[in-house]
Amino acid sequence: FGSPGSFRTENDEVVVYELGARHLSAGFAGEGWPRCVYNFTPGKGGRPGDWRQFDPTFAKKKRDREKARNESKDEGERWGREYELYRTDLRSGVHLELVKDKLSRAVREIHTEHLQLDTKPRKACLAVPSLLPTPLLELVLRVLFEHWQQPPSIMVLTTPILATVGAGLRCALVIDVGWEETVVTGIGEYREVAQRRSIRAGRDLVREMKKVLEDATDQSKSERKESTRVTFAEAEEVLQRMGWCRPQSSGQFEEDASKNAAAKKRIPLPSGTLEVPFSRLSDPADNTLFATSSSTDASDAHELPISLLAYKTLLALPLDLRSLCISRIVLTGGLSHLPGLKTRLLNELQQLVSTRGWDAVNSYGSAQQHHDRILKERSANTPPPTNTNKPHQRPPHTSSTEESDSHSSPPISLSPTKKPLQDSLPHHQRVHDDIKDPITIKAERHTLASKEQRDGVARGTVRGVDTLGPWTGASLVVGTMRVKGVHEVEREEFLRHGMRDGGG
């Protein structure tokens, strides 16, 4: 009788997918990391039985073809196109049928070689960017539903919220340094409150690294005055291995930089060995992400530096949420692990807050005098600070009745046109505070009880928080917390009606 029954309830396995512009991550819910990260590269598009990569001349021919393509007129449009699954601008020549074929092949390889799934239907969770175009989202859902695994339903979640969950937070400022654009999102109680975007991201960063490598040539090449063409794969590998971001300019750094300016790094490439100064390897991050070589006043709204972009996103948040998000800055994305990037971003954001404050207007122009007059009126309404460090000394000729009167009616400087600001004074010392209703008394009692908890919450200071990533956040939400998503697409409804009202 002590043996267990033959029938046991098994927990349903949930497959978690994370879709990016250049990769597809997959794994099981409840695990800490994905089982597979499938990168979309030109080598993944070969047919079965294609053995060209074993030909000794294949690498040279492939390199020559890529050089000729880079030297064409449409180099900016074709840059990195073979290493992408899609582009958010569907008007730039994105072939949805080709995207569908690439995604179908990636899903089939992930299921058979890495996850090793059987024909049992399993629910799925899909993590996508916030503003993924509807045709692309519908295409991804159709590929997953029409696969032989046939999930009964797919829960759709956004990556900024999942990055917040992966950091163990409820409110955060998520800075996603992606491949095509950098997205800054303000999260309040797991809801996207404000969002801004910039084109300063990974694709332009790799292009800048390519220019740095092409400018630095070997001695033998320089003597013969031959230019070195660098391919996309070589520039990306150098960026991943040796790219870094220099700290914010200061006196000590200038001395260190002058000492290390002569230090050069030898980079072996198929076309030859390059000698690049180590300080030049940080120029792509400075010029692309922080726009140190150009003026921010001349930049459009879609090409702001990431520090100014984060500052403007904080300005768009409500005051109470802003004080929480500024102390919970989460940096995620493919380039978030660039050495020195997080420190530089936090320092520049702190400098912007200290110099500009929280005023949305950068320059008042001819209205500066009117603005100064308003600031003086505000300062006149603020009560004088009370000195709590020094003990209070009673004047020699003061009676007890005069002392009680001084406590009951504190001196507050009033303005003839504005109501006095009395937030810094206790309730019993405020002007016209004679009515005490039960709701006010209960609110005061609750405020005193929760004061210690509110003081323990970090707010108002620039601080960064590490995250485990969107995929781990989705695994935590679906596998451990068992949270039901708001946008859950049913297979039968989707195959019958398609996308309806953005929710399937």
Q: Are 282 and 244 in contact (CB under 8 A)?
A: yes
Tell me which architecture the domain covering 171-199+303-359+462-466 has in CATH. 2-Layer Sandwich (3.30)
Beta bridge mates, 24: 19, 38
Confidence check: pLDDT of 54 > 90 = no
Rounded mean pLDDT, 179-186? 96
Structure confidence at residue 370 (pLDDT): 74
Q: Are 84 and 181 in contact (CB under 8 A)?
A: no
Confidence check: pLDDT of 156 > 50 = yes
- Write down the domain spans for the chain: 14-40+84-168+468-497, 171-199+303-359+462-466
pLDDT in tens, 391-443: 444 444 544 444 444 444 445 454 444 555 556 666 656 655 455 667 777 77
Task: Give the separation between CA 337 and CA 1, rounded to whole angstroms.
Answer: 57
Name the token pair of 126: 């899909």
pLDDT band for position 87 (50/70/90)?
A: very high
Rounded mean pLDDT, 442-471? 77
Share of the chain above pLDDT 90, in %: 45
With a CB cutoff of 8 Å and minimum separation 6, the contacts of 200 are 181, 182, 288, 289, 291, 303, 304, 305, 306
CATH superfamily of 14-40+84-168+468-497: ATPase, nucleotide binding domain (3.30.420.40)
Burial (0-12, 13-18, 19+ Cβ within 10 Å), 322: buried
Of 62-71, 106-115, 249-258, least confident by mean pLDDT is: 249-258
Task: Give the separation between CA 172 and CA 309, rounded to whole angstroms.
Answer: 15
Structure confidence at residue 412 (pLDDT): 47
Structure confidence at residue 161 (pLDDT): 95
Nearest to 281 by CA among 342, 237, 232: 237
DSSP per-residue codes, 251-279: HHHHHHHHHHTT-EEEEEETTEEEEEEGG
Confidence check: pLDDT of 337 > 70 = yes
pLDDT band for position 96 (50/70/90)?
A: very high
Structure confidence at residue 322 (pLDDT): 94
Q: For the chain, give me the number of helices (H) and strands (E)?
A: 19, 13
pTM of the predicted structure, to 2 decimals: 0.79
pLDDT in tens, 222-274: 544 445 678 888 899 999 999 999 998 755 555 555 566 558 888 888 877 88
Beta bridge mates, 127: 18, 157
Structure confidence at residue 390 (pLDDT): 47
Confidence check: pLDDT of 50 > 60 = yes
Sign of CA dihedral 373, 377, 380, 382: negative
Task: Give the separation between CA 73 and CA 87, rounded to whole angstroms.
Answer: 20
Arithmetic mean of pLDDT over the chain: 80
Of 65-79, 290-304, 357-371, 387-401, least confident by mean pLDDT is: 387-401
pLDDT band for position 366 (50/70/90)?
A: confident
Task: Give the separation between CA 187 and CA 140, rounded to whole angstroms.
Answer: 26
Rounded mean pLDDT, 49-54? 72
Structure confidence at residue 9 (pLDDT): 47
Q: Which residue has the tokens 């016209």?
A: 432
Highest mean pLDDT among 357-361, 371-375, 383-387, 405-409: 357-361
Q: Which helix (H) or strand (E) holds 127?
A: strand 123-128
pLDDT in tens, 208-219: 999 999 888 644
pLDDT in tens, 18-30: 999 999 999 999 9
Name the token pair of 96: 């949805």
Of 182-186, 362-366, 372-376, 380-384, least confident by mean pLDDT is: 380-384
Whether 171-199+303-359+462-466 and 14-40+84-168+468-497 are alike in CATH topology: the answer is: yes
Structure confidence at residue 194 (pLDDT): 95
Beta strands in 5-52 (DSSP E): 14-19, 23-28, 36-39
